[in-house]
């Protein structure tokens, strides 16, 4: 299968100018199988013939490799610990050291569910304090269209299954069939295009200098080959403030532990160096 993948990688590079060689082979194979099914090609050779006469398929394959799934409060244990332990500790640290802002990076933010989930928790926690403390979430993704969707902050009822009724009432306004996020949450989020594999960029340009108290990069690392995965982890690690937190997906916990990150609680997917 590797030889067949290499052929596909070369053709996609020629047709679209996109290098897909950084993706893990097993992930590439699964994605390719799906495209073969959609295009009704019974073999790689047939698919290569299809690409030759339908060059737009190269772009469709590339887009299928960019993971788009996300949801509000996706991992209940992770978000419970963030709400009850991690973020209150961060808030208290900032108050004690007389700093005025908590800085968060939501990498590969998709349609903004993760960033808005964090904003909801921050708003609720800070409402309990008399101290003038703020927060800023820098949410990034590869696809501008997806960021536009995040900026709009409009969600279907089906996509809000993890949101409690209390929060749904407080932080969303229903208009027709869609739920619109409250503007106060959008005011704390900066959305921008950013490529974690871009060697020329240290951190999201809008953040200026990185130094994030919390970075969310969940369900991304395992889609890439080891050398690219390590590049992303190194870049993210360099952007963390001292004693900052890195949150990953549950299936990526072992990857971080192999890079000397310490999980703050078993199965939490929340790490510190």
Look at 27-36, 60-69, 219-228, 235-244 and tell me which has the smallest mean pLDDT.
60-69
Q: Are 108 and 147 in contact (CB under 8 A)?
A: no
- Which backbone phi and psi does 175 adopt, to 5 degrees? -130, 110
User: Span 193-202, mean pLDDT?
Assistant: 89
- CA–CA distance, 93 with 88 (Å, rounded to integer): 9
Nearby residues of 170 by Cβ (< 8 Å), 6 or more positions away: 182
Position 1 pLDDT exceeds 80:
no
**pLDDT at residue 113 in the model:** 95
Grade residue 67 by pLDDT with cuts at 50, 70 and 90: confident
- CA–CA distance, 220 with 163 (Å, rounded to integer): 23
**pLDDT at residue 70 in the model:** 84
% of the chain surpassing 90 pLDDT: 83
Torsion over CA: 189, 192, 195, 198 (sign): negative
- CA–CA distance, 159 with 117 (Å, rounded to integer): 13
User: Span 150-160, mean pLDDT?
Assistant: 94
- CA–CA distance, 102 with 154 (Å, rounded to integer): 26
- Going through 26-108 in order, the beta strands assigned E by DSSP cover 101-106
Q: Domain 76-272, what architecture? A: 3-Layer(aba) Sandwich (3.40)
**pLDDT at residue 9 in the model:** 94
Torsion over CA: 35, 38, 39, 44 (sign): positive
SS3 content of the chain, % helix, strand, coil (to 5): 50, 20, 30
Grade residue 208 by pLDDT with cuts at 50, 70 and 90: confident
**pLDDT at residue 130 in the model:** 81
Q: Which residues of 182-203 are buried (b: 16+ CB within 10 A; e: fewer)?
A: beebbebbebeebebeeeeeeb
Q: List C-alpha distances in Å: 31 to 16, 20, 36, 205.
A: 17, 12, 9, 31
For the chain, residues classed under CATH 3.40.50.150 are 76-272
What does the pLDDT look like over 37-61, one tens digit per residue?
A: 999 999 999 999 999 999 999 999 9
Q: Are 162 and 73 in contact (CB under 8 A)?
A: yes
Global pTM reads 0.92
Q: Are 174 and 160 in contact (CB under 8 A)?
A: no
Position 227 pLDDT exceeds 90:
yes
């Amino acid at each position: 299968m590797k030889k067949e993948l290499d052929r596909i990688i070369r053709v996609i590079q020629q047709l679209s100018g996109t290098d897909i060689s950084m993706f893990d082979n097993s992930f590439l194979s699964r994605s390719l199988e799906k495209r073969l099914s959609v295009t009704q090609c019974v073999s790689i050779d047939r698919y290569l013939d299809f690409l030759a006469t339908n060059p737009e398929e190269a772009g469709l394959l590339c887009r299928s490799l960019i993971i788009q799934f996300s949801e509000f409060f996706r991992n209940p244990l992770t978000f419970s610990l963030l709400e009850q332990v991690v973020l209150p500790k961060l808030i208290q640290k900032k108050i004690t050291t007389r700093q005025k802002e908590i800085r968060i990076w939501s990498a590969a933010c998709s349609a903004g569910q993760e960033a808005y989930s964090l904003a909801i928790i921050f708003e609720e926690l800070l409402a309990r304090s008399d101290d003038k403390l703020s927060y800023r979430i820098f949410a990034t993704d590869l696809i501008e269209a997806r960021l536009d969707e995040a900026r709009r902050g409009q969600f279907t009822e089906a996509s809000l299954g993890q949101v409690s009724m209390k929060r749904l009432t407080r932080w969303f306004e229903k208009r027709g069939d869609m739920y619109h996020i409250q503007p106060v949450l959008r005011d704390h989020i900066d959305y921008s295009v950013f490529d974690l594999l871009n060697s020329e960029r240290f951190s999201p340009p809008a953040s200026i200098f990185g130094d994030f108290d919390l970075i969310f990069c969940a369900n991304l690392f395992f889609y890439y080959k080891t050398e690219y995965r390590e590049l992303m982890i190194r870049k993210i690690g360099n952007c963390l403030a001292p004693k900052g937190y890195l949150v990953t997906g549950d299936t990526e916990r072992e990857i971080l532990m192999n890079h000397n990150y310490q999980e703050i609680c078993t199965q939490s997917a929340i790490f510190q160096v």
